[in-house]
Structure 1
């Protein structure tokens, strides 16, 4: 299956059967050093990075939709240019390829910026870009014809959304990237491709895989899923951080990940040498369980089956991944639709000591009384307390909690937003209503003195649905001015909208392991959680084979609801298992408040759901607990 590497720009003197690909960015705010440092490693064939998220998509989508009002607006990620500059010379020297999604909502504009940049640095690097992800016109036309675009998290039809779409983006696969590389590109700029798409596209090009090589493509999809969040797989967000990173003085400068993808698809995850962090079974399992929806992982190019995956520690910081099953892609892909949600603001009060609940109630009653009938104009208005006061606190800080009053409205005047920066003192506004009661307030009443957050700022709503791939105008635009259409896949499979969900078969009685200790679940259970729109996924796993039967027997859907307590939204929870990884995965459907773009909670990304569940008390068998905690 390997290709003629000389024809694809490699100069290793023959056929190289392993592609080394490095993840140099997991998001727009990731450390900039990675691209420069990894470009110096001439053993690496491809550098790829993720520069966009659901949050940035909404901002860039709005910028593209409203650009006529501001010719200076750009709808791509300029931070990529800053990361690329110090690496350009090395990329050219080492004949590396680069594939990124930093084009966001305007890959052509970024592509032209990069074309000029490589000229300025006196290199002959060839820059191409991929388009077709913007499907706003198609979505609006389909809406006129009655398409409902039901929400993936909630199944609610879009006509109940209550806001007007301004931009829609489809998640493209990797075939366009593969085609760009095949036609001689050195740097490929994409917009909204799936997070793993650059890895799929690079591997297709490198190993000359076809569109129906589903096993190989599925392995590349899993590799991309593991690599795309950069140091998440090398120790970031790792629940074993205390012993293996912090106490081991190994927690700074976690290495960026490297994948070694073989011609049959199997691969190894490793990391930069002489850097911090760690790659082990647990860090890879955690990232594998992150942001998935069930046993099937869908992509525009392929569907990967996760529940048979196996991990092997080949050597320190080297994990081999096997057991991936590839299936045809669905005829649809995911789209994200952006709409202007209105304006949001918040005010914070600090409450100390006794009677916290009563102090909150006092603030709430006084504030609502001040708002009067205007309270009806808020789509969201919450009074949330963060923290709690311990018995006999040792200092004042530990006895203080944060009361956050959070509001959203479509009335900019009410939020003192937009042009209303200098509102008159008697103008009704959210901030004024919150603050004006201070002198009749609770004992010790203290507002946060930085009131800039009380001035409304725009927020966006984000709707996730499915879109037919054959309505996408997917194209590659090469460095020499050629446009290459990318047809939709023809070998597809329609999958049920609802994935398999089940409690464990043949659970064992929880007293099977003898004496127990009442302790936090996370003392022996690792985990990871995250968001996909308003869905929250939660993966939990143990370290040892003999603990697996206990974990799967304990963690039913009913038990998870018990652990969630007041955080249980009462909505559907899906569950499946990955036995070889000793892992149970839950999908909490529509659990997050509309997703990161418009959430009224602090946990906008769902990443702390796992840490909340891991701190809950359960009865842990002493035989497991006495081995030592995480």
Structure 2
């Protein structure tokens, strides 16, 4: 959303997702014919505009569809246009509720700036306005920023006639919504164990279908059988917290990256020479004083006795951030000055577009009082809706403050020697995993397939162990690690706080979304009990 906000305000972008409009445009006749209701969050920055587009098309086709849109998420008028003007009234950071977390200094650096022009500020709305819209006869509801699961929660809440306090059922729909918004991740995408199955299963895994009863949810692909359905049940709920998340985006400055290749051995010495040369030039020109962040990231190692030049090639990613584009152009000038002083085996692609400074957005995730939100659903006048009508969504009747997040190593460890002989193998030979981003933080969950393997995993994979497995990537002074267990699904879950800096859009990590982190840890060689992998890997 934030990436399109400036263009939208300048009149160069519609503010909503074009794919949302295309999908509705192509399916409107079928929706009307079959009486299918749609709740979609593709309204993005401009749900009103998309709703009007849909309303106009419905009227043009003479389709009796009631079109409505949800509003109340846009907080630019409250928090902007300049965040600095709020001074000590800036909302608290999302992770501030956890007193154990050290919030990374760059995340809060904007508080010392004299001006922080906002790009966007949107609260994550729930499902209350959606439910009101459906109860008042809406056929199509266009949402802007809502929680990822809100459309599913709203649809299930309305369909089953739940109350505000049906917490277990609402929690079940929350889980269901989060699962299907992950799209093909539920049906085979991003699956660490895919090599154990026929490759054709993963070429086009399809999208999940949700069948939600009042008690449980089941998921399947479009042409699946009963054997391939997955049932999710036993979800427990509680009253919502008094706050919601608001994603605040501001102009963080400029970024650039210069990509340099090296072929052959002696890679460490080659890149060390490059870094020394470039830093010397930057210091001489005083450009180093204008650069906020400069990292030399070495990617890959050359193959021993390589079969091709590509197999002998690695690259160095020179990543930089600065307040101004001119500062980063100074970096490019300094790089050009050493271009013929390079190490042997040096080369680079002729396309240098990534070296040209580009503006980047920084995110500040904050907490915002739910009672301060003005969430509503508005029906547009049109076919079947004679006049514009706005209905207030209200607020939850009860709140419950969030407890301190749990963080623990296993309470029931099994002595590792009881698992018998071990073999030095990749952790991935016994454990699957998946990881991803959440603001400045990274989530990673490891899971196994048998209770015996879980008894080993929960004992072996402690917080200290994960820090060890992260190796040079673990920064004790900057990160915080949180660990919990999910014995019902044989999983151990971690959150690495702070590892993504100010969020995906500004992270210096090559894996800015944190998707590959799980496979990095699974690639680490550890002592794996032979009894857990016998018959699965070559011992």
TM-based fold match above 0.5: yes
Gaps of 5+ in 1: 1-56, 275-313, 417-428
Contact 1:131 1:191 in 2 (8 A): yes
Q: Give deviations 1:77-109, integer Å, cap 9, x for gaps.
A: 112112333222222222111111111112111
User: Is 1:99 the equivalent of 2:45?
Assistant: no
Q: Which runs of 5+ in 2 are unaligned?
A: 96-100, 382-387
Hey, what does 2:98 align to over in structure 1?
Answer: none
Give yes or no for contact 1:125–1:186 (8 Å, CA) kept in 2: yes
1:109 lines up with 2:49 in the alignment: yes
1:58 maps to 2:2? yes
Residue 207 of structure 1 is matched in structure 2 by: 160
Whole-Å Cα distance in 2 between the matches of residues 594 and 186 of structure 1?
A: 39
In the alignment, the residues of structure 1 paired with residue 87 and residue 306 of structure 2 have an alpha-carbon distance, to the nearest angstrom, of 63
- Distance (whole Å) between structure 2 residues aligned to residue 145 and residue 620 of structure 1: 53
Would you say 1:84 and 2:24 are equivalent positions? yes
Instruction: Decide which of 403, 407, 431 is 2:332's aligned counterpart.
Output: 431
Per the alignment, residue 188 of structure 1 pairs with 141
Indicate whether 1:410 and 2:318 are aligned. no
Q: Are 1:257 and 1:269, in contact at CA under 8 Å, matched by a contact in 2?
A: yes
Conserved? CA contact 1:165–1:337, under 8 Å: no
In structure 1, what is the Cα distance between the partners aligned to 2:90 and 2:21?
Answer: 39
SS of structure 1 residue aligned to 2:52: helix
Q: Is the 8 A contact 2:293 2:322 kept in 1?
A: yes
Is the 1:88–1:121 Cα contact (8 Å) retained in structure 2?
Answer: no
8 A contact 1:61–1:338 mirrored in 2: no
1:490 aligns with 2:369: no
- Which of 254, 264, 283 aligns to 1:343? It is 254
Q: Does residue 233 of structure 1 match 2:186?
A: yes
**Of the candidates 511, 521, 535, which is equivalent to residue 603 of structure 1?**
511
Q: Distance in 1 between matches of 2:377 and 2:198?
A: 43
Q: CA deviation at 1:381?
A: 1.2
The answer to whether the Cα contact below 8 Å between 1:517 and 1:625 also exists between their aligned partners in 2 is: no
Q: Match of 2:237, SS?
A: strand
Residues 1:509 and 2:415 aligned together: yes
Q: What's the C-alpha RMSD, in Å, of the aligned pairs?
A: 2.0
Once residues 563 and 126 of structure 1 are traced to their aligned partners in structure 2, the CA distance between those partners, rounded to angstroms, is 55
Structure 1 runs (4+) greater than 4 angstroms displaced: 140-143, 153-159
Residue aligned with 2:57, SS: helix
8 Å Cα contact 2:261/2:348 also seen in 1: yes
TM-score normalised to structure 2 length: 0.91
Q: CA deviation at 1:562?
A: 0.9
* Alpha-carbon displacement from aligned partner over 1:136-179 (angstroms, at most 9, x marks no partner): 23235996372343323456497643451512110000111111
TM-superposed deviation, 1:577:
0.7
Residues 122-141 of structure 1: matches in 2 within 5 Å? Answer: 122-140=62-80
Whether contact under 8 Å (2:102, 2:480) holds in the other structure is: no
Contact 2:68 2:133 in 1 (8 A): yes
Q: How many angstroms apart in 1 are the aligned matches of 2:413 and 2:472?
A: 26
Measure how far apart 1:229 and its partner are: 1.2
Q: Is the 8 A contact 2:52 2:380 kept in 1?
A: no
User: Any residues of structure 2 matched to 1:255-294 within 5 Å, and which?
Assistant: 255-264=206-215, 266-273=216-223
Change (3 A) 1:545 1:253: same
| Superposition pairs of residues 262-411 of structure 1, within 5 angstroms | 262-264=213-215, 266-273=216-223, 315-372=226-283, 373-411=286-324
**TM-score w.r.t. length of structure 1:** 0.78
Which secondary structure state, in structure 2, belongs to the residue aligned with residue 414 of structure 1? helix
Q: Are the structure 2 counterparts of residues 143 and 501 from structure 1 closer, same or farther at C-alpha, using a change threshold of 3 Å?
A: farther
3-state SS of paired residue (2:257): strand
Counterpart among 505, 512, 519 of residue 425 in structure 2: 519
Classify the secondary structure of the residue corresponding to 1:103: coil
Shift of 1:540: 0.3
What secondary structure does 1:392 align onto?
Answer: coil
Deviates more, 1:102-111 or 1:74-83: 74-83
Give the Å deviation of 1:370: 2.3
Query: Partners in 2 of 1:159 and 1:367 — Cα distance?
Result: 29
